[in-house]
Amino acid sequence: MKPLLRLLPYLSKYKKTLFMGLLSIVGSNIFTVIQPHFIGKAIDELKRGISTHNLDPVDLLFYAGLIVGFTLVAGVLSFLTRQTIIVVSRHIEYDIRNDFLSHIQKLPFSYFQNTPTGDLMAHATNDIGAVRNTLGPGIMYPADTLVTFVMVLTMMLLKDWQLTLMVLIPLPLVSFAVYKLGKLINQRFQERQEQYSKLTTRAQESLSGIRVIKAYVRENFEIESFRSISWEYFKKNLVLAKIQSIIWPTMFLLVGVSLVITIYYGGSKVIDGKLSIGTLTAFFAYLVMLIWPMIAFGWVINILQQGAASMKRLAKIFDTEPEIENNEYTDYSIKEIKGDIEFRNVTFNHKKSKQPDLQNIQLKIERGKTIAVVGYTGSGKSTIVNLIPRLYDISDGELLIDGIDIKKIPLEVLRSNIGYVPQETFLFSDTIAHNIAYGVEEYDEVNIVQAADIAQLTKDVEEFPKQFETMIGERGITLSGGQKQRAGIARAVIRDPKILILDDALSAVDIHTEEEILKRLKKVMENRTSIIISHRISTVKDADLIVVIDKGQIVERGTHGELVVIGGIYADLHYKQMLEEELEKL
């Protein structure tokens, strides 16, 4: 149950409302628990009236009125209980869900590379829902059960303490059974939730990769794969249900034992004249009132164990510290950057990499200059540019922006001044206009059209039914690869960034369109630092400086002409592409 202690800060936020809810529980139970006393009095009055042939209906109506009145008050207070505690649980669920999303947004890029999206979806839905149950019924019913139990037990002791002690004999067995079953429920529920994560991961991947599935005719394979995982989830649910189903019969059995004791022992005292029939009737009513607390006790343990298992899973994420964030060394006086970049003997390696991904990178990029990064696949080109917006942090050396250590610059200032077009452009299920303007707070149609013109996207958009207001579907599924890349370029350009990074952002467009985009980008690049990564020599040949990366190191640097003369990797790539172009012409 320790994971549930993490919910205390959320509960303290609504402590006044929860306190009102607990008062409602106490009040509701006071008006409920007193009713069997009136029933007993009414029965004794009825017996006395029958025995003396002097029954006054007014007395019975008086007790009936009290019972009805107390029932109404108890009902109103019970309603208030749910309007406070259950509503608070919904508010806390809302808070946890927002905190969950806020926290995972702060986690490093590497975390999402190693964590399935479906797993996070399971946490955000099923696990938070289970925690919500703990905060709603998990608070209301234990409080109600405890208050009911104490009040009913007090009334029973006042009626007949000997009979009460006899009735309580089965209770230690209840505690033992609940303890044993509770541990099993916690374990099995956690196993079920882990399987649910696998199920959601598979479903998410199948839907996201539907194009590939259809192209390779793997529909039946995916269906069978999903069915297999779903069957495992079904079996784990059955195991959990079997354990849960033992709790209820156990509670009823033990309550039944108490009823038998009451009938036998209490009935004997009535026969001996030591107990009135009204008192025994009230005693039965109180015992019936104990049935729900006994059953609720097992049910609540079930809810708490499930909530604890889910909170334990959520805690693993909340306990994952953001590796890249503002800290005590951050200089908040920095409000903007100009664009000078310098790598000083920078080394970087991923946590799971045996060898450094980048080694001893020495590179200075002056503000307003355009540099290009080329190299074979997997050489480390994208890794270099990922260090600039701090998607990763360097392992060794220094990375400076405007002569300032990049870790001192507030993250929001750094990233708001960078326009980044990654290799794989991600578009949201929204209009083209909103996707282009995603990175800016204020914009108008003129800004969107200008950015689209630079990216050579306007002509394509004008052919769409609603032009810039056209919905493009999930991940931009209705657009071609080239249109997606151009939308990504427009998204970066509209920000008017001090640093523009194009990571192989023109690979899906034809050479003619590429030339037109580069012509327009030249004007955009005039007053800003630009970094272009490309496999095409035609894309990078006009850059102020070209660096060649191989196996994580800069092995060549210079202009296009200088590198061709050297006869190294760049020259090799250049001649191969020239040969390909000649073959295409033939």
Tens-place pLDDT, residues 503-558: 877 776 667 777 777 777 777 777 788 888 887 787 787 888 888 888 888 888 88
Rg, C-alpha atoms of the chain: 36
Q: State residue 476's pLDDT score.
A: 63
Q: For position 474, what pLDDT does the model report?
A: 65
Measure CA of the first residue to CA of the last residue in the chain; give whole Å.
74
pLDDT of 167 reads: 76
Q: Give residue 475's pLDDT.
A: 64
How high is the pLDDT of residue 204?
Answer: 75
Question: What pLDDT, on a 0 to 100 scale, did the predictor assign at position 580?
Answer: 67
| Contact call for residues 392 and 348 (beta carbons, < 8 A) | yes
β-strand 499-503 against 396-401: which pairing, if any? Answer: unpaired
Query: β-strands 545-550, 370-375: how paired?
Result: parallel
Using CA of residue 294, residue 298, residue 300, residue 304, what is the dihedral sign? Answer: positive
pLDDT above 80: residue 71: yes
The Cα–Cα gap between 433 and 436 comes to 5
Check residue 48 and give its pLDDT. Answer: 66
Using an 8 Å Cβ cutoff, are 419 and 462 in contact? no
Confidence of residue 294 (pLDDT cuts 50, 70, 90): low
For residue 55, pLDDT beyond 60: no
pLDDT value of residue 487: 82
Phi and psi dihedrals of 342, rounded to 5?
Answer: -145, 125
Residue-range domains of the chain with CATH: 2-318 (1.20.1560.10), 341-585 (3.40.50.300)
Sheet holding 418-421, edge to edge: 418-421, 499-503, 529-533, 370-375, 545-550, 553-558
State the average pLDDT for the chain.
79
Residue for token pair 């390779």: 216
Return phi, psi of residue 455, to 5°: -85, 5
- Model pLDDT for residues 150-196, shown as the tens digit of each residue: 888 888 788 777 777 777 777 667 667 766 776 777 678 778 878 88
For residues 34 and 475, what is the distance between their CA atoms, to the nearest angstrom?
63
> Does the pLDDT value for residue 400 go beyond 60?
yes
